[in-house]
Structure 1
Amino acid sequence: MAFEILKNPLFFLLVALATTQIASAGDPDILSDFILPPNVTEVDGTFFTYTPFFGKSLDAVEPETFKVIKVTMKEFPALNGQSVSYAILLYPIGTVNPPHTHPRSAELLFLMRGSLEVGFVDTTNKLYTQTLQAGDMFVFPKGLVHYQYNNANDTSVAVSAFGSASAGTVSVPLAVFNTSIDDGILAKSFKTDVYTIQKIKAGLA
């Protein structure tokens, strides 16, 4: 019976359609020009303008630690349904954007100022690294663990574009050590002892 299904052309058509749907998975397409917030029926040009983005970052006092200023559909509702968002990233000297992933989007980083060491790890655990200078761009593939590190002697500034209105961020250190995963399980997973795991957790607290 199962082999008869495999001979049916309709089966292959359904498999092809399902595969195409998975391959194009991302923000859903919308059936209107844009999406208004609930209980809003009319807007003007200000709805499509987000002025605080650059003002809050580049004109502000330089931070002492790594800082990211996101503009997703949470901060800018007009992005809902548009499959795009941005972030400004500020890296004081010697700071790092720790290993993390964006489960719903690739990231295209444009380095505006300074220098950055960047890298990502693919599904075969191969590390790809590059040292970027101002004007360079680098793409982090969707869902892969990646990081950025300011190895220069000045603050670095980058802008990242995402192919999702809500790309999501999963911090590897926090997801592993700042959740409720049992210390014993983590100790076995990292081939160490519970005391070491607790020290790492305390450092991230």
Structure 2
Amino acid sequence: MATFLFCFAVLYASMSTLQVLSSNPDPVRDFCVADLDYPQLNEYPCKPYANVTIDDFVFSGLLTPADPSLGPSGTSVTPAFVETFPGLHTQGFAFARLDFVEGGLIPPHTHPRASEFVYITRGRLYAGFIDTANRAFARVYSKGEVMIFPRGLIHWQLNVGEGPASAFAVLNSEKPGFQTIAPSMFGSGVAEEVLQKAFRLDEQACRRVCSHR
């Protein structure tokens, strides 16, 4: 519990820096708790003030992880986004709990609308990102260390320790977006000729992977 509380203290302290670079506009009122019963396109109206309670500003879902062994890559991501934590609405950030079985991987992906701050609470992760000059910044991180993934850049986390690993993430957008690289290209309807040339695959190799979903 002490580790959990310290983790959130670190994440909360980071908000003053992250908010400066937030991809969301500054709020114009004290708060705007999302009224999840009335979504409007990609937005939510504010819950009537008289109906707002302290429970709108508290989320306990990160205490208990989902089972990472059930995921295809041996990982589970437990989000605290506006859809599950309405009090986050208009505040410019979101949280997630990351859990890994031994060897579990969160594959290369991007968050087009947010930077990501990750604090490791258990185990060892090989993690990093690739910049627009195609330079990789990566190493093994251990319990107690913090990493930052700049907005929009490809990044990943792989459990390289013995046993499970866990981390907590905060993103400076309530809707950071999530796009995994491989499924975005392979099995998405992109012409095989494009995939062959882009990834330097021969026809036989492309038949094995180009239609993968």
Q: Report the TM range for the smaller structure's normalisation.
A: 0.7 to 0.9
The one of 154, 157, 161 equivalent to 2:163 is: 154
Q: Is the 8 A contact 1:67 1:91 kept in 2?
A: yes
Q: Is the 8 A contact 1:63 1:90 kept in 2?
A: no
Q: Percent identity?
A: 27
Q: Is the 8 A contact 1:35 1:80 kept in 2?
A: yes
Tell me which residue corresponds to 2:30. Answer: 33
Whose radius of gyration is greater, 1 or 2?
A: 1
How many corresponding residue pairs? 179
Distance 1:24 1:161 in 2: 13
Per-residue deviation, 1:172: 0.5
The letter of the residue matching 2:23 is G
Tell me which residue corresponds to 1:54. Answer: 63
Tell me which residue corresponds to 1:138. Answer: 147
Q: What's the Cα RMSD here?
A: 2.0
The one of 85, 88, 95 equivalent to 2:97 is: 88
Q: Secondary structure at the match of 1:153?
A: coil
Per-residue deviation, 1:40: 3.3
- Distance of aligned partners of 1:120 and 1:85 in 2 relative to their CA distance in 1, 3 Å threshold: same
The letter of the residue matching 1:192 is L
Runs of 5+ consecutive residues of structure 1 not aligned to the other structure: 1-22
Q: Secondary structure at the match of 2:184?
A: helix
Distance 1:24 1:168 in 2: 16
After TM superposition, list the pairs within 5 Å mapping 1:98-177 onto structure 2: 98-177=107-186
- Distance of aligned partners of 1:149 and 1:24 in 2 relative to their CA distance in 1, 3 Å threshold: closer
The letter of the residue matching 1:106 is S
Distance 2:94 2:21 in 1: 18
Distance 1:187 1:39 in 2: 48
- Distance of aligned partners of 1:114 and 1:174 in 2 relative to their CA distance in 1, 3 Å threshold: same
Distance 1:124 1:39 in 2: 42
Q: Secondary structure at the match of 1:54?
A: coil
Q: TM-score, normalised by structure 1?
A: 0.80
- Distance of aligned partners of 1:79 and 1:175 in 2 relative to their CA distance in 1, 3 Å threshold: same
- Distance of aligned partners of 1:198 and 1:75 in 2 relative to their CA distance in 1, 3 Å threshold: farther
- Distance of aligned partners of 1:123 and 1:178 in 2 relative to their CA distance in 1, 3 Å threshold: same
Distance 1:172 1:62 in 2: 20
Runs of 5+ consecutive residues of structure 2 not aligned to the other structure: 1-19, 36-44
Distance 2:46 2:115 in 1: 32
Per-residue deviation, 1:39: 7.5
- Which 10-residue stretch deviates more, 174-183 or 116-125? 174-183
Q: Secondary structure at the match of 1:63?
A: helix
Q: Is the 8 A contact 1:89 1:159 kept in 2?
A: yes
Distance 2:92 2:46 in 1: 22
Q: Secondary structure at the match of 1:52?
A: coil
Tell me which residue corresponds to 2:81. Answer: 72
Q: Secondary structure at the match of 1:198?
A: helix
Q: Is the 8 A contact 2:115 2:148 kept in 1?
A: yes
Distance 1:118 1:194 in 2: 32
